[in-house]
Structure 1
Amino acid sequence: MDFELMRAGLEQAVPFNRHLGLEIAELGFGRGVVRLPDDDRLRNPLGSQHAGALFAAGHAASGTAFVAVFLEQLQDLTPVAEGAEIAYRTIARGPITATAVLGGTAEELLAQLERDGSVRFAVDVSLTDGAGTTVAEMTVRWLLPGGS
């Protein structure tokens, strides 16, 4: 599996993520890392990273975390984010790294998809600043629905 080709394709697939300047730094089975740049356009009135930009980085990382696992199925099925929760822990300044980890093993999730025709799963995301301080934590709940 060519992870570099997948990474480049994902960066081009979502125009909003390109607009924000999000960079997919890592893509693997059950793990995704996205970087949010330090950009004046993404700041709030306090001069820190905007909450919406942090959410977008976490959401993008969560999607990146499961793409390799479900690559073959994504040709026929479209993932849907059913919900998300985010907790902002401290003011986020500078570049931010969003690291996402898929809940459940690839084997379990693929077996459920095969058995039920759809699968629901959660992806946990930690957003950290350049010093490694956690600035936010997020969980995104995804549905990979069966065909209609």
Structure 2
Amino acid sequence: MIPETAQEDTMDPYEMIKAHLGQAVPYATHTGVELLDITDGTATAKLDQRRETENHIKGQHAGAMFTLGEAASGAAVAGALAPVILQMRPVAAVAEITYKRFAQGTLIATATTSRKGADLMAEIEEAGKTAFDVTIDIRDAEDQTVVEMKVNWYVSPMRT
């Protein structure tokens, strides 16, 4: 058996980000958010409906859907900055959410950064920080958009 640190050294950086969601954002895991896919500036996440995520009319609770979207956006940020993410401090600065229709069942969130990782890393290198938007589309099992979100992220190097 390979020790965990050795496994992480050989692990794809996007898989490593997925594996560490529970440690980095325990609330998202507690809510039931599952990261499905992460690439440079994109991520998809899933939330199954269960009693703990329901509202009073047996749909997905607004807070659960917000958590799904915010977690997907954070994963997209981590994917964009994968080579340096462990040295960065990403903070969600502003979030906008529009509930488009009643949402039930399993939901899939797709998040996309407004700029690719190389551009973001270049700006951090030059200016010492960056700010950018991530758009999120949350769809139901019928592939209908139920929520639209935008999160503005501020990223700077970790303070020592």
Given the two structures, how large is their TM-score scaled by the length of structure 2?
0.87
**1:96 aligned residue (107, 121, 125):** 107
**1:138 aligned residue (111, 124, 149):** 149
Give the aligned partner of residue 129 of structure 2: 118
Contact 2:89-2:158 within 8 A present in 1 as well: no
Unmatched 5+ residue regions in structure 1?
none
Matches for 1:7-22 after TM superposition, within 5 Å: 7-22=18-33
- Shift, 1:104, TM fit: 1.4
**1:66 aligned residue (77, 87, 90):** 77
Report the structure number with the largest CA radius of gyration.
2
Amino acid at match of 1:88: Y
CA distance in 2, matches of 1:60, 1:17: 7
CA distance in 2, matches of 1:97, 1:111: 31
Question: Higher mean Cα deviation, 123-132 or 106-115?
Answer: 106-115
- Shift, 1:146, TM fit: 4.2
- Shift, 1:145, TM fit: 2.3
Amino acid at match of 2:28: N
Aligned length: 148
Q: 1:45 to 1:101 in 2, by over 3 A?
A: same
**2:60 aligned residue (45, 49, 57):** 49
Contact 1:11-1:24 within 8 A present in 2 as well: no
Give the aligned partner of residue 5 of structure 1: 16
Contact 1:11-1:23 within 8 A present in 2 as well: no
Amino acid at match of 2:114: G
Unmatched 5+ residue regions in structure 2?
1-10
Deviations 1:31-59 (A, max 9, x none): 10010111111111011000000000000
Given the two structures, how large is their TM-score scaled by the length of structure 1?
0.93
Amino acid at match of 1:64: A
CA distance in 1, matches of 2:20, 2:86: 14
- Shift, 1:12, TM fit: 3.6
